[in-house]
Amino acid sequence: MTWMEKINFVRAFSRFPAITVMVFIRRKIGFRMMNPTWLIILAIIMLLTPVIFKAAAAPFGFLMVIYALALLGLGFFQRWQRWQELCNGERWHTYSPGISYLEALPLPPFFRSHGRVGRFLDPAAVAIVALLVGIILSHGLGLWLLLSAFFLYVHEQDAYQAQLNRDLDTLDGLVAAEVQAETVKHFEGKQPEEQRSIEETAGIPTGLAPDIHRQVELRRAKQRKPAPDNLAPETPEGRAS
């Protein structure tokens, strides 16, 4: 695998460990994010971890079992809630990452903008809890939560960048449409000899030059020229004959 393929794999994989903490720290997670197959597989992995790695799960290995069962319960409950809302006509994206409970805190405006709560505060909070759990209660659960915090950060950054790119593509399309409309007006009247600068075209290199303009004007002149009238007007005598 190339480096780009490895990065794309990590981005795609990051959603699954992230779900194991998103269920506990967020509400209104999208219907399809709570996929039953994903939840069951993740819960099975967590249930098998203290069995296979008993020493890693110490001193309280049963906490991972409780955590896995709670993951299933909350995951299915949120999925059921979203289904009820969808059936009632409530508009909500089925792949929504949910709303962090930290949003209810009196946070500064800096954190409330650009999704910084989900991108930074949520992973940081999970990482802090993971360290405490790993030191005091269960090394295995603490390590799981720490890895989940990292993948939550990766998933949130990837989702934010994808949404930002979609918004920028929409904005670029609007700008390109405006510049194209200006280009049409640019050909309508007498034009200067110099080409329009890139600043005048909103950073879009149009490639239009005076010689192209002359060719366009020649073609327009041909189109405006009336067609030759080769047929004589029909007279009443002609119709009679």
Q: Where are the domains of the chain?
A: 3-102+110-172, 189-223
Please answer whether residues 126 and 152 qualify as being in contact, where contact means their C-beta atoms are separated by less than 8 angstroms: yes
Predicted pLDDT at 50 = 78
Over residues 83-136, the pLDDT tens digits come to: 999 999 999 999 999 999 999 999 898 888 888 999 999 999 999 999 999 888
- Is the per-residue pLDDT at 24 higher than 70? yes
Closest CA to 117 of 168, 153, 164, 154: 153
Where is pLDDT greater, at 235 or 89? 89
CB atoms within 10 A of CB 223: 7
d(CA 157, CA 151): 10
3-state SS track over the chain: CCHHHHHHHHHHHCHHHHHHHHHHHEECCCCHHHCHHHHHHHHHHHHHHHHHCHHHHCECCHHHHHHHHHHHHHHHHHHHHHHHHHHCCCCCCCCCCCEEHHHHCCCCHHHHCCCHHHHHHHHHHHHHHHHHHHHHCEHHHHHHHHHHHHHHHHHHHHHHHHHHHHHHHHHHHHHHHHHHHHHHHHCCCCCCCCCCCCCCCCCCCCCCCHHHHHHHHHHHHHHHCCCCCCCCCCCHHHHHC
- Is the per-residue pLDDT at 205 higher than 80? no
- Is the per-residue pLDDT at 61 higher than 90? no
The residue assigned the tokens 């993948």 is 151
Over residues 158-178, the pLDDT tens digits come to: 989 988 898 888 888 888 888
Over residues 69-85, the pLDDT tens digits come to: 999 999 999 999 999 99
Predicted pLDDT at 51 = 78
Predicted pLDDT at 21 = 96
Over residues 208-226, the pLDDT tens digits come to: 555 555 665 666 666 666 6
Closest CA to 108 of 98, 97, 90, 120: 120
Closest CA to 97 of 45, 192, 10, 162: 162
What pTM, to 2 d.p., does this model score?
A: 0.74
Least confident range from 24-33, 46-55, 202-211: namely 202-211
CB-neighbour burial class of residue 131 (10 A; exposed 0-12, middle 13-18, buried 19+): middle
